[in-house]
Amino acid sequence: MLGKLLKYELKATSRVFIPLYIAILVVSIVNGLSLNLEILNIQGLATIVLMCLFISLFVITIVVTIQRFNKNLLKDEGYLMFTLPVSSKYLVLSKYLTSLIWTFLSFVVAFLSFTIIFMIPTYKYFDFSYFINEFNLLFSNISNILGTTILSEFFKIVLLIIISYTIFIFNVYLALSVGQLPIFNRFRNVSSFIGFLVINLLISYAQNIVSLFVNDASVNIEAIDNINYAINSVTSIVSKGLNIAIVINIIIILVLFFATTYILDKKLNLE
């Protein structure tokens, strides 16, 4: 059932994102061609338009994340959504996964955009196979120098970024759900906004408390003469800190998720 909900969400939101992605790629091509032909007027205009499109993409991603949850689950459409033979957990997950997918695709489109701008003026001189070989060689050298431990920490940082974005989304979902409680009927939007700030402060407080325990585990690197031992010590501290941060943030996500679904199941107050 989650797959069907996800398919419906992607189809509904694609009408917003797909035209925007196409516009970004088209303007990127125009920008690249203007660089290749050295048409400065078109290049300047295309650059401004591209920047505006990227800003629009960022804003629209946030707006759609809020709108789809609020409109589909907390307003009139909620009467239909909650009659479906599916739990509120799947409804919330479908909204979240849709937002995460479009965010990922937005980064892909941004990468393609800059690649197009770079490739068009240099395509005559650019050897793609040579670039791939050099990239593989560079990655191999970095792996040999830093070791697999450092690379694993890098992937943990990427995972932590995704988790942090997930916390933001579920923070928004919980704040919107709190705002529709019967006690806040007259001030739903204001209550949701205040709820978002309060929840964010509580999350920051919890994260700060955990960081204090991590800092207590630090070592005096300046007192260590052996450089290899110093690197290993720093790596160990960073690794421990990342592991703790990942675990704590996952717990925060679960709390936000189940608090949201609890309100939807037990305290639902549709407009």
Best-predicted range by mean pLDDT (40-49, 106-115, 213-222): 106-115
Helices (H) and strands (E) in the chain, counts: 7, 0
d(CA 75, CA 201): 27
Average pLDDT over residues 240-250: 82
Two structure tokens written together for 269: 């107050």
- Confidence at residue 125, expressed as pLDDT on a 0 to 100 scale: 60
- Confidence at residue 116, expressed as pLDDT on a 0 to 100 scale: 85
Question: Number of C-alpha atoms within 13 angstroms, CB side, residue 145?
Answer: 6
Are 229 and 238 contacting, i.e. CB atoms less than 8 angstroms apart? no
Lowest mean pLDDT: which of 92-96, 130-134, 177-181? 130-134
Q: pTM here?
A: 0.79
Are 25 and 116 contacting, i.e. CB atoms less than 8 angstroms apart? yes
Give the number of other Cβ atoms within 10 Å of residue 88's Cβ. Answer: 19
pLDDT in tens, 28-67: 888 888 776 666 666 677 788 888 888 988 899 899 988 8
Q: What values do phi and psi take at 182, rounded to 5?
A: -55, -35
Note the maximum CA span of the chain. Answer: 68
d(CA 167, CA 201): 13
Side chain identity at residue 252, one-letter code: I
Are 109 and 24 contacting, i.e. CB atoms less than 8 angstroms apart? yes
d(CA 78, CA 91): 10
- pLDDT bucket at 158, cuts 50 / 70 / 90: confident
Average pLDDT over residues 175-198: 86
190-229 per-residue burial string, b: 16 or more CB within 10 A, e: under 16? ebbeebbeebeeebeeeeeebeeebeeeeeeeeeeeeeee
Two structure tokens written together for 71: 């409109």
More confident call, 167 vs 266: 167
pLDDT in tens, 113-144: 888 888 877 666 655 666 667 666 766 666 56
d(CA 95, CA 102): 11
Average pLDDT over residues 13-34: 89
d(CA 183, CA 100): 32
More confident call, 125 vs 105: 105
Q: Among all chains, which residue has been given the structure tokens 């703790």?
A: 244
Q: What percent of the chain is predicted at pLDDT more than 90?
A: 25
Q: Among all chains, which residue has been given the structure tokens 């920490």?
A: 153
d(CA 73, CA 62): 17
* pLDDT of 168 above 90: yes
pLDDT averaged over the chain? Answer: 79
Find the angle CA(185)-CA(187)-CA(191) to the nearest 5 degrees.
105
CA 51 to chain centre: 20
More confident call, 218 vs 87: 87
- Confidence at residue 223, expressed as pLDDT on a 0 to 100 scale: 47
d(CA 206, CA 225): 36
